[in-house]
């Protein structure tokens, strides 16, 4: 996915040009987030990115607003949630036995509790790093700027954090 290109109809005003300059800076980052949200489905990610750019074009976006990544991110997350809700309405629910549904919900709750316990046992800097990368969707370079370290340092710290998370999670599973 390349940079966002403005419509080529010759009727762009100054505000439109400013918007497309800003949007082009964030299009690759939006694409990466969309790929994560759509679990690697290229077509869905492309549609989600396009919808996000169209929705943000309607907002008042200007250069003096500062970092507008949170706006782009929130609009994309909301669009993704809306799409999920629409898909849920369109498809009939499969016939499940109540016990299997309850078992799946219980398994998800146990997993969520295990993950929370593992995160609580990790050092706060590692938890912060994991959340920035996996929960917030920041790239390694963006995390490096945010933490005032080099991207290589972020890679090393992330590798250690993942390793520690994995080993702690596996130890916890052995106990239960």
Distances in whole angstroms, Cα of residue 11 to Cα of each of 15, 51, 55, 113, 162: 11, 21, 19, 54, 50
Question: Which residue would you say has higher pLDDT here, 152 or 92?
Answer: 152
Question: Which residue would you say has higher pLDDT here, 126 or 6?
Answer: 126
Query: How much is the average pLDDT of 57-72?
Result: 68
Q: Is the domain defined by 98-175 classed in CATH 1.10.10.10?
A: yes
In degrees and rounded to multiples of 5, residue 3 shows phi and psi of: -70, 150
Contact (CB, 8 A) for 173 and 148: no
Provide the percentage of residues in the chain whose pLDDT is more than 70.
72
Question: Which residue would you say has higher pLDDT here, 5 or 149?
Answer: 149
Nearest-5° Cα angle at 25, 21 to 29: 145
Q: Note the pLDDT tens digit of each residue in 106-125.
A: 777 888 888 889 999 999 99
d(CA 176, CA 171): 9
Considering the chain, tell me which residue range(s) the CATH 1.10.10.10 domain(s) occupy. Answer: 98-175
Question: Which residue would you say has higher pLDDT here, 136 or 96?
Answer: 136
């Amino acid at each position: 996915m390349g940079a966002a290109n403005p419509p080529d109809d010759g009727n762009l005003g100054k505000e439109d040009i400013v918007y497309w300059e800003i949007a082009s800076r964030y299009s690759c980052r939006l694409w990466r987030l969309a790929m994560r949200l759509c679990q690697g489905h290229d077509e869905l990610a492309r549609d989600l990115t396009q919808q996000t750019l169209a929705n943000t074009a309607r907002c008042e976006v200007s250069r003096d607003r500062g970092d507008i990544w949170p706006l782009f991110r929130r609009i994309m997350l909301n669009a993704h949630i809306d799409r999920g809700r629409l898909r849920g309405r369109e498809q009939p629910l499969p016939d499940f036995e109540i016990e299997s549904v309850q078992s799946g919900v219980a398994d998800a709750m146990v997993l969520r509790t295990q993950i929370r316990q593992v995160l609580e046992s990790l050092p706060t800097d590692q938890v912060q790093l994991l959340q920035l990368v996996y929960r917030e969707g920041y790239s390694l370079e963006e995390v490096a700027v945010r933490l005032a370290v080099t991207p290589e340092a972020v890679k090393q710290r992330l590798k250690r954090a993942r390793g520690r998370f994995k080993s702690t999670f596996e130890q916890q599973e052995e106990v239960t």
